[in-house]
Each structure stands twice: as structure tokens, then as C-alpha cells.
Amino acid sequence: MSARIEAQSVSKRFGPVVALDALSLEIAPGEIFGLIGPNGAGKTTFIRILTGYRLASQGDVRVDGISVTTDRFRVQAKLGYACEQPKLYGDHTVDAFLRFMGQVRGLSGARLRAAIGLSVERMGLEPVRRRRISVLSKGFRQRVALAQALLHDPSLLVVDEPTVGLDPAQQIELRRIIAGFRGTHTVVLCTHQLHEAQMICDRVALLDRGRLAAIATAEQLRADGSLEALFLARVGQPIHSEGAA
Amino acid sequence: MIGRVVALARKELRQLFASPIAYVVGTAYVALTGIYFFQHLVSYNQLLFVYQSEGLTGGGFDQGTVPSQINVLNEVFVPSADDFGLFLLVVLPLVTMRVFAEERANGTDELLLTSGLRPWEVAFAKHGVTYLFVLLLLAASAIYPAVVVARAGLGFEHLFALYVGQLCYGCAIASIGLACSSFTSSQIVAAVIGYAIPFVMLDFAWLSNAVSEEVAGRLKEIALLSHYGTFPRGVIELSHVTYFASIVFLGWLASLTSLELGRAR
Amino acid sequence: MAFLPAAGLVMILVGVASYYATRSLHGLSAFSGANLGLGVLLVIAGAAAQLKSFRGFSGAASRRVALRALAILAAGFVGVIALNFWASHWTARVDLTADRLYTLSDQSRQICAELRGGAGAPIELVFFEDALLAKDVRLLVDAYAGDCPEVQIRDASRKEPPAGAREIYTSTATTVVACRGDVCDPVGYPSERNITSAILRLASARAPRVYFLVGHGEVDLASQADAGYSGLASLLRDQGFDVQAMVGPATGEMPSDADVVIAAAPERDLLPEELAILDRYLEGGGRLLALTEPGLRSNLYSDLLLRFGFALEDGVIVDEATSPLLKDPSPLNLLIHLFAPYSPVTRTLSRRTMVLMPTARPVALARKPQPDDRLERVAFASGRAWIVGDVAAALARRGLERPDAAPEVEPAVVATGSYPRGDVDPATETAEREARVVVIGDRDFASNHLLDALYNRDLLLNAVRWLASDEARLALTDKAWTPNQDPLTLQQTVAYFYFLAFALPEALLLLGIYAWWRQRA
């Protein structure tokens, strides 16, 4: 079952710096939702608040009605997170790492073995299963990151810049995998690749200077021309309060 | 909950022993303790030889041939225990400096803290594995003294008391180092602070000229060495065990606080 | 500005390390002090700069989480401080030394318990924390604090010793002084024996008086030579006895305050009047310790002691089972390890707590004066001992061959006698008074040379205490320190060293190299 996400006036300040400014949005279950924006727009900050790694200064994010601020562990049980430039334990083999993450997620015994098998199969990691993560290519590391995020079959998948540094073939493959989650998982995809967001996502939110500059569905994007046009039109402009499509 | 902690502890153990640091530290400690123990033992043998030689005392049975103060306890084990404590102080910050700081520097703390692990579980597992390492270190270094104890009739109970003291002392130093590591992403900074605090707390003798006697007395009550000295003599005092357990607890609490504060930033 | 605290910490570290490295030469040097001072300043400056640039915890939720975490940490600190303050008063401990060196013996505890409710100023142990032996003795003094609450412990400094202890302290390198009001007792070497003895001396309302017979060739109590017996007198004084020499009872009667009379191996006959006085003294419930020696002849042995049931035929005991413990060992040296287990004089002695007698005269039993009298042999040579009648030849190592007919019983070297005298109380069935005699067939075991050997002093003290009706306070014995023996020979030490102190680190290093290689590969 996929998750519903509601962000209500989420703000985050680091001293005088406003990283997020009253961001509100809703993500429907089963949706692949893209987050785009220039550097420093607040995408990663929002992701970190959503995953419970950081606290919002104001506002709250709810996943299936559960507040991340007050009940983050229940939210984390529902989500799988593959961070930007995957943070993995290089001295572990792929198998050992997935086993560790599965145990951390509360899996054990036959369930764990089955979950690892499924993740490995889904991410095409069989050829490298026994190899140490530090010797894997970037593409495979991204897959390992995704594989660990999927172990416990989360209803929400948060993926941050999954295709950065990958070669075209790897990018195509990874996009295909992510697109395959539509309907079964809610996916929040944070990316710099505009065309990628346009290809995969059902809806895209454009963030600029911590605020929601625009939200558009795939159809609207096709109708309006391209996400690039929207980006150029909205980024750097005064931000209006309307956002959701 | 237990499964998560155990999984994390195993991960920590794997990482610890995948790195050469653990082996280098273990080698250094075992070698240093062995060499210094050997030196004390040789000195003791020579002292006995001098007392028992014909030229000095006339040989044979004579009370006072070897004064009762000259014995394995005073001449070998107590000085060795002082040395062992110093070596622990030197090697342990090298082990603790990476425990939290490396995770933070690599960003893998984000992986851990977004996968349902409670901060206290993270702190508990990391501390626990480090204390286990201290125990392994001490176990490796105990072989030589154990051989001597078996011959000298000192009693393994006495050796046990000595090593309980070293375990308490080592865990306290490790705990301080872990707390320092949890507040920074730089292993070097963690090591420097991890050295500075225990050295400062050793016995505060360096402050004795600058403060009144009463203050010096109070400081002595919280100094590390004030609570360590009875263990090598074969006595385990509950108050001293409580002291070291308190430092271990505070170190764990400080690590936990650091993780919570990180989220609140 | 982030480098400031780091630099400061490095300077503090260097300052402290250099202090410890050189403090035996000149305490806190200028270099160490400068590093410490500057380091502290840099840390404070760096912390202030960090605080100034601290952006704070933005938002109510962040502040709440941060404050809760800090509050828990602060509570932890306070709790730990409180716990340790409380714990500092705990005396619970486990003494795991091989000989329980830091646990008070039953005798010490009993003596302490007897102080309870006593009149007069409390007894205080003044412990000099900065004395040379303080570290070693602290644990023992703490044992008194824990197990002997009737005695108070006071920590003091050499620089300002308390009034009563001042004079004593300045004349000795003492670690512990026992005081009662203004009266202080120098403990001497701070062992449990000496400390408890000092307590005993201060606690005794009236010290039992022990008279030594002199003037008949008895042992020289003033001589400090190896063959002298000054140690015997000192020992008894240490144990709370008032020791006096009695040159044959001059007044015609034994002094009325004579609790115990010791006849330490007279070599000549006593005057008839002296024998009569001793006889009346014993019949009146007196107490006598008689030491003898092979070859001595005196009417004390042939008349008085015979009348009281002790047959002291001249002779010397030869024992094949002896061990060569003396410088010039011979089969005349006896290692006494067979004792009557229920006699108050020997019940603390056993096969593991032996007595060494260089030569001993057999002590046999004769007819007891009255039917109700009790005579008992309480210490014996081994089953392989026999008696040689020609003492002079035996001492010259002649005629020591084992006879064909072995003695039926082991020769005794110590015997005791109890003689109830006067009317018997029907309620308690005890006599009005009871005389006691202990006869020991050797005097040299109590000489300066051998008094502290093995458990010789225990035998002597047990005998005197029993005679003084103080048998509950059996001999206080110092705990045996760990044996003074080579734990390993030098060759073994070197062999173990190469095997353990090099091989084990080498193995660890090789493992480390393998781990490093695996990581690289």
C-alpha cells in the first residue's frame, strides 16, 4: 500500500538563512512526485525533514497522518530512503550490507532472506552480490542504495538525485526501475535533471529560495511546453502564494 | 529493539576489525604491556637474587632475608598496573576517534538515523562494541601476567581484581573518547579532545600549586588515578566501580545528546 | 575561529604531558605552565566565538528537542555526582588478595567489638595521607573504617600532625598513629598486627602483669643479639602485657598482681624458699609458663614441675622428618606440625602453621597432683622422631642413629596442665580458682633469631594468653604476604617473553596487514 504525504507550512531556518519558507504540498498515494529546483532551493532540506533526519522550524510533514515531528520512527518504518551520493559502508559486501539494513528494519530469518533476494533481483545486483561496495561502480552503488531502501517494502520511497554521475545506460535503467514503482509505492524523487522529472513523474514541484514556485502535472507540462520553460519562467521571479495544481 | 542493536553492533565489529587501526592498536598495547611487565619482573628477580645471595645475608633460612615488602605484588603487579593504565590512555583515543566522527564525515549517520534506529540504540551499540574491544585488548595482554600469577601463588582472584580495574579504567577512557567523537566529524579533533580530557583528569596534580588545598582535595576525588589504585592491590571497592561506571554512563549520555542535538539543528 | 579551541586543547595536552614527564625534576615548569595557561585561554576564546556564531535552534520543536536533550544530560550529571557523593561513604569491597591482606582477622574484629560501650575517650587511628607507605596502607586503614566502627579514622597531613601525634610523628616515619585522647601510641610498621596491638594497648584498663623469673641463668631479656630475648619482652608489651622482671620473690610471697609468671629456662636450682613460693602461688590459682632446653638441670623441672605432673627427663628429640631450614641444619631441628586441635594453646596451629624449634627436650606427663587436674600433651614431633638421652653427644652430632625400637608415641614438646582449686560452685560446677601451667621443651624458638620464624610467636602468645585467661584473644598474626620466591626463573621469564610479548603482537600485526590488504584488494 502506498503512502499519502502532507506538508503543511513547513519552514526551516539556519540562523538568518531561510532554507524552507512555509512550504505546503500534498502527495497522493502511488504518485511519483518530483522535486526540482536550483542549488539551495531547499530540496534536500525538505527531504531531510520528511525522513526525520532534521526537525522543521515550523510546520509539519505527515505521512499517512503520522507526524514526522512527533512520531518519526513510525514514519521511518514506512519509508525507504536512498540519499544523494549514496552513503554506504564500503567495507561491507552488498549481501552483508543488505542483511545489516534488513536487520535494522526488523527483518530476520526467512523473511530477511526473501527480502534481500527480491531487492537484489529488482535492482539487478546478482552479479555483484558478493563484492565489496567500495569496489562497485557508481551505478551499482546507486542500485545498492535503492535496494536497501526497498528491503522492508516501504509505502514511501524517497530518492535523492539517483542518476547523478551515471552513464546514459545506467540512467535509463534506473529511471525504468523508478517508474516501475508507480501505483505500488509513493515516490518522492529529488532531481536536477528536468527531463528526467518530466519523463518519470506524475507531478513536479518547483522549489526556489525555499518556497514552492510551481506545481504541475505531467499533462500540464506537456501542454505548456516543457519543464524547462516552466523552470526558466519561475525561478528567480517573485514567488506567488499559489502552487498546487 | 534487541535485534537492531545486535545488528548494529555486528556492523561496528566488522568495521572495527576491517580496519588496520584495531590491529595496530592491539599490537602496540600488547607489546608495550609485555615489555614493561617483563622489565618489572626482571628487576624483581634481580632484587630477590641480591637479597638471597650468600654474600649479603649468609644464606639459608633467616627471617628478614627478604623483607616482606619485597614481593611480587609490590614490585611487579602494582608498578605494571600503573604502566598498563598509561598505555590504555595512549591507545584508546586512536580507536574511539573514528567511531562517530567517521559516520558523520561519510554521511552514513543519515542512513542510520533515517532507518528507524533510535539514537540511544546507535549510541549503545557503538559504545558497547568499543568496550568489547577494550575487553579483548585486556584479555590479550593478560596472558603474560597470568603465567606469572600461576607460578607466584598470587592468586588468579588478585589478577582478576587487577583486570577489573583496568576494564573499568579503559572503558571510562573509551567512553570519554566516544563522547568527543560524537560531537565532531573530524577524527583528528576527536582524538585531540579524547586525549586532552583524560590527561587533564588523571590526577589534577598539575593544578595543585594554583588552587587551595581544599579544592585540590575535591579535585583529587574526581581524578581518574584516585579511583584506580586499589584494583592492582587486589581490592575491588564498590565506590570506585561506581565512579568508573558513572563516567561510562555520562559518556554514553553525551553521545546520545549529541545525536539528538544534531537533529534539532 | 574554529581552530582556536583545537589549538587550545593541543596546548593543554602538551602542558599536562610535559608536567608529568618532568615533575620529578621541578614540578610545574614554566613551559608546562605557559602551555596550560595559554591553552585554557584559547579554549575559552574559541568557545566564546563559537557561542557568538551559534545560530541557535530555530523553531519551537527544535528548541524543545534540544532543551530536553540538554536537560537529560544535566540531570545525568547531577545524578552521577549525587550517586558518587553517596558512594564515597560506601565501604563495601571485595578483597581478592591471596591472603586477604586487607580484611581484618577475626581477632581484630573481636578486639574491636570488645571496645563497644567502653568508657573513656574513643580510640582514633590517625592516618598520614602523605606518608611514604600511605598508598599501601590506605586499604588496611579503610578495613578498620569498615569493620571496626568502634575505632575512628582521622586523615591527617605530615605538615600538620594532630597534637598528640606530633611528637611521635616527628621521631618516626610513621604512617599510622593510634590515639586515645592525648595519649598516642606509635604503631610502628603499619601492619594489622601492629595497629590492632596499639588499639589493644590503648584500650586495656589494666594491662595483665607478667613476671619473668631472673637470677637463675634464665634468658637475657635485655639482649638484642640473635641469641637474646629482647624480642620476647617487646612482643608481650606490644600485646598489651606489662612485663616485669622478678629477681626471685624478695618479699616472701609472689606479688599479688602477678597474672602470669614465666620461668624462661633457668639453668640453676631455685632456692627452696623460691620453690615454696612458686608452689603456693600455683596452688592459689597462679599461672606459670616454663621454658626448658635439652641439657638444663634445675629443681624447677625435677621438683616443682614434676609435682604438677610434668616429667622432664633430660634428653633431646631427634626427628628424621625435619626440613633444613636453619643455616646449619641438623636432625635436631624440629618442625612441629602436630598439635592438639582443641587445646586453647594450639588450636590456631596446624600442619600449615608450623613451629620451628632448633632443639627440644621431650615433655612427658607424670602423675597429676589431684584427680580432677587435667594434663595434656598439645604439640608433638613427627612420628619419625625419637629421644636421645646423651644430650652433649647429640648436640655434637654423635649417636644420632635411629634406634631399632621406635618410640610408641610421638614425643611431645609442649604440655599443659589445669588445676582446679578451692571450693566448687554447685551452680556452675567450676572451682573457685584454677591454676594453669604450660611447659615448652625449647627456649630458642622464642629468641630474637627465631621468634618471628613461622608461627613461633603464635605458640608463645597463645600460651601466655591462656595463662592470663585471655584465650579469646588468640595471637594476632600478620597476614602472610605473597611468598618471596621467584615467580619464574630468569630463563623462563625470557622464554615466556619471546613467546608472548613478541609472538602475540607479531600475530596481531600480521592479522592487521592481512585486513589492510583485503581492504585494498
| A15/B contact by beta carbon, under 8 A | no
pLDDT band at C482 (very low <50, low <70, confident <90, very high): very low
Q: Mutation test of the interface with chain A: which of B10, B11, B15, choosing the one with the most A Cβ atoms within 10 A?
A: B11
A contacts of B114 (beta carbons < 8 Å): 51-53, 76, 79, 81
**Best mean pLDDT range from B252-256, C338-342, C472-476:** B252-256
Whether the per-residue pLDDT at B54 is higher than 50: the answer is: no
Share of chain C above pLDDT 90, in %: 18
- Co-location of C50 and C119 in the same domain: no
ipTM entry: 0.85
pLDDT of residue A238: 60
Question: How far apart, in whole angstroms, are the C-alpha atoms of residue B170 and residue B208?
Answer: 25
pLDDT of residue B171: 96
Whether the per-residue pLDDT at B253 is higher than 80: the answer is: yes
Question: A173 lies in which domain range?
Answer: 5-41+60-229
Domain-embedded: residue C224: yes
- Co-location of C219 and C341 in the same domain: yes
- Co-location of C73 and C219 in the same domain: no
* B180-199 average pLDDT score: 90
Subunits next to B (3 or more Cβ pairs <8 Å) are A, C
Nearest-CA distance from A87 to chain B in Å? 5
pLDDT of residue C139: 86
pLDDT band at C521 (very low <50, low <70, confident <90, very high): low
Domain-embedded: residue C75: yes
Q: Average per-residue pLDDT in chain A?
A: 86
CATH of the domain at C179: 3.40.30
Domain-embedded: residue A237: no
- Co-location of C130 and C261 in the same domain: no
pLDDT of residue A144: 92
Question: How far apart, in whole angstroms, are the C-alpha atoms of residue C11 and residue A104?
Answer: 42
Nearest-CA distance from A203 to chain B in Å? 25
Interface contact flag, B234 C68, Cβ < 8 Å: no
Question: In sequence order, which residues have a C-beta less than 8 Å from that of residue C276 and are 6 or more positions away?
Answer: none
* C489-500 average pLDDT score: 73
From A154, which residue of chain B is nearest by alpha-carbon distance?
B115
pLDDT of residue C410: 84
For B:3-62, CB contacts with C below 8 A are 17-20, 22-24, 26-28, 30-31, 34-35, 37-38, 41-42, 44-45, 48, 51, 58-62
Interface contact flag, C96 B45, Cβ < 8 Å: no
| Higher pLDDT among residues C405 and B231, named by residue | B231
Give the tens place of pLDDT for each residue, C176-207.
888 888 777 777 777 887 888 888 878 876 67
* A206-234 average pLDDT score: 76
- The number of distinct structural domains making up chain A is 1
Domain-embedded: residue C93: no
* C329-356 average pLDDT score: 85
Domain-embedded: residue C482: no
pLDDT of residue C430: 67
Domain-embedded: residue A113: yes
Q: Mutation test of the interface with chain B: which of C139, C226, C500, choosing the one with the most B Cβ atoms within 10 A?
A: C500
Whether the per-residue pLDDT at C170 is higher than 60: the answer is: no
For A:159-178, CB contacts with B below 8 A are none
pLDDT of residue A209: 86
Whether the per-residue pLDDT at B6 is higher than 80: the answer is: yes
B contacts of C501 (beta carbons < 8 Å): 30-31, 34-35, 37-38, 144
Give the tens place of pLDDT for each residue, B158-169.
889 989 999 999
- Co-location of C283 and C258 in the same domain: yes
Give the tens place of pLDDT for each residue, A17-33.
888 988 999 999 999 99
C contacts of B140 (beta carbons < 8 Å): 504, 508
CATH of the domain at A161: 3.40.50.300
- Co-location of C184 and C218 in the same domain: no
- Co-location of C236 and C368 in the same domain: yes
CATH of the domain at C429: 3.40.50.880
Give the tens place of pLDDT for each residue, B81-117.
888 888 999 999 999 999 999 999 988 999 999 999 9
| A193/B contact by beta carbon, under 8 A | no
Interface contact flag, B114 A51, Cβ < 8 Å: yes
Q: Average per-residue pLDDT in chain C?
A: 82
| Higher pLDDT among residues C19 and C424, named by residue | C19
Nearest-CA distance from C520 to chain A in Å? 9
Give the tens place of pLDDT for each residue, C426-468.
666 667 788 999 999 999 999 998 898 888 988 998 899 889 8
Q: Mutation test of the interface with chain C: which of A8, A9, A13, choosing the one with the most C Cβ atoms within 10 A?
A: A13
Nearest-CA distance from B48 to chain C in Å? 7
Of A16, A58, A134, the CB nearest to C59: A58
- The number of distinct structural domains making up chain C is 4
pLDDT of residue B61: 40
pLDDT of residue B216: 80
pLDDT band at B124 (very low <50, low <70, confident <90, very high): very high
Interface contact flag, B114 A81, Cβ < 8 Å: yes
pLDDT band at B59 (very low <50, low <70, confident <90, very high): very low
pLDDT of residue B67: 62
Q: Is C489 exposed, middle or buried (0-12, 13-18, 19+ CB in 10 A)?
A: exposed
Of A73, A100, A103, the CB nearest to B118: A73
pLDDT of residue A54: 92
C-alpha cell at B203: 590526577
Nearest-CA distance from A28 to chain B in Å? 22
pLDDT band at A245 (very low <50, low <70, confident <90, very high): very low
* C266-287 average pLDDT score: 90
Question: How far apart, in whole angstroms, are the C-alpha atoms of residue A43 and residue A20?
Answer: 9
Q: Mutation test of the interface with chain C: which of A11, A20, A23, A57, choosing the one with the most C Cβ atoms within 10 A?
A: A57
Domain-embedded: residue C268: yes
Interface contact flag, B158 C96, Cβ < 8 Å: yes
pLDDT band at B58 (very low <50, low <70, confident <90, very high): very low
Helix axes B119-141, B20-52, angle to 10 degrees: 40
Nearest-CA distance from A226 to chain B in Å? 34
Interface contact flag, A69 C55, Cβ < 8 Å: no
Question: How far apart, in whole angstroms, are the C-alpha atoms of residue C108 and residue C117?
Answer: 17
Interface contact flag, B254 C73, Cβ < 8 Å: yes
Domain-embedded: residue A53: no
A contacts of C56 (beta carbons < 8 Å): 15
pLDDT of residue B56: 45
Helix axes A109-122, A138-150, angle to 10 degrees: 140
Whether the per-residue pLDDT at B63 is higher than 50: the answer is: no
Give the tens place of pLDDT for each residue, C365-399.
998 888 888 999 999 998 888 888 888 888 888 88
C-alpha cell at A137: 561502480
Question: How far apart, in whole angstroms, are the C-alpha atoms of residue A205 and residue A35?
Answer: 5
pTM above 0.80, yes or no: no
Question: How far apart, in whole angstroms, are the C-alpha atoms of residue C43 and residue C39?
Answer: 6
Domain-embedded: residue A54: no
Whether the per-residue pLDDT at B236 is higher than 90: the answer is: yes
Whether the per-residue pLDDT at B211 is higher than 80: the answer is: no
Give the tens place of pLDDT for each residue, C83-117.
998 888 777 889 988 778 888 888 888 888 877 76
Question: B29 lies in which domain range?
Answer: 2-264
From A76, which residue of chain B is nearest by alpha-carbon distance?
B116
Catalogue the long-range contacts made by C226-230 (C-beta closer than 8 Å, 24 or more residues apart).
C226/C447, C226/C448, C226/C449, C227/C444, C227/C447, C227/C448, C227/C449, C228/C447, C228/C448, C229/C264, C229/C446, C229/C447, C229/C448, C230/C448
Question: C247 lies in which domain range?
Answer: 206-467
- The number of distinct structural domains making up chain B is 1
pLDDT band at B51 (very low <50, low <70, confident <90, very high): low
Question: How far apart, in whole angstroms, are the C-alpha atoms of residue A223 and residue A232?
Answer: 16
Interface contact flag, A53 B115, Cβ < 8 Å: no
C-alpha cell at C494: 625470557
pLDDT band at C9 (very low <50, low <70, confident <90, very high): confident
B contacts of C27 (beta carbons < 8 Å): 209
A contacts of C59 (beta carbons < 8 Å): 11-13, 55-58
B contacts of A103 (beta carbons < 8 Å): 3-4, 6-7
The answer to whether the beta carbons of residues A65 and A5 sit under 8 Å apart is: no
Residue A143 has a CB neighbour count (10 Å cut-off) of 28
DSSP SS3 for A35: strand
Nearest-CA distance from A21 to chain C in Å? 12
* B192-207 average pLDDT score: 86
Question: How far apart, in whole angstroms, are the C-alpha atoms of residue B198 and residue A23?
Answer: 47
C-alpha cell at C263: 620461668
- Co-location of C344 and C375 in the same domain: yes
For B:162-221, CB contacts with C below 8 A are 189, 192-193, 195-196, 199-200, 202, 205-206, 209, 221
Question: How far apart, in whole angstroms, are the C-alpha atoms of residue B9 and residue B12?
Answer: 5
Interface contact flag, C58 A91, Cβ < 8 Å: no
Domain-embedded: residue A73: yes
Give the tens place of pLDDT for each residue, A39-90.
888 899 999 999 999 999 889 999 999 999 999 999 999 999 998 877 899 8
